[in-house]
Amino acid sequence: MIVILVNLPENTDKKDIEEFIRPAIKDGHMGSVAIMVQKHPKTHEVKYHGLVRLTPDPVAQRAIEILKKEQINGKYVDVHEYRARYWHNDPRIMSTRGAHLRNMRKSERRQFL
């Protein structure tokens, strides 16, 4: 299972994430660790998120429950299961272009008009 840490502090690195998660997974295994940088296209606000692969799934679920109440580098982060969004299970995507535009936010529609 992939666990996502939302809104990491800017100065967080992979080693900090590993040290944050290690106490919560006594019986499990920590796989890959990655840091994603998300930049808002208009406001240029930058957010940092961490992705960690944990196995087996029950250990990952227990780690999520433990880490929800913890801080990393002095900041509380949201910890939950990462769910990838694909085009075939995304309710916002419709078969026709017009229906798709109606279901978009106003700021997103402006890009296509």
pLDDT of 96 higher than 50 = no
Cα distances (angstroms) measured from residue 102 to each of 4, 27, 78, 109:
30, 48, 31, 8
If one looks up domain 2-82 in CATH, what number appears? 3.30.70.330
Q: What percent of the chain has pLDDT over 70?
A: 76
pLDDT of 65 higher than 80 = yes
Q: State the pairing for strand pair 46-55/29-39.
A: antiparallel
The Cβ-side half-sphere exposure at 107, using a 13 Å CA radius, reads 4
The ranges assigned to domains in the chain are: 2-82
pLDDT of 54 higher than 70 = yes
pLDDT tens sequence across 14-43: 999 999 999 999 889 999 999 999 998 888
Which residue is associated with the tokens 């002095």? 74
Phi, psi angles (nearest 5°) of residue 101:
-65, -35
Query: Does the pTM exceed 0.85?
Result: no
Res 42: pLDDT:
86
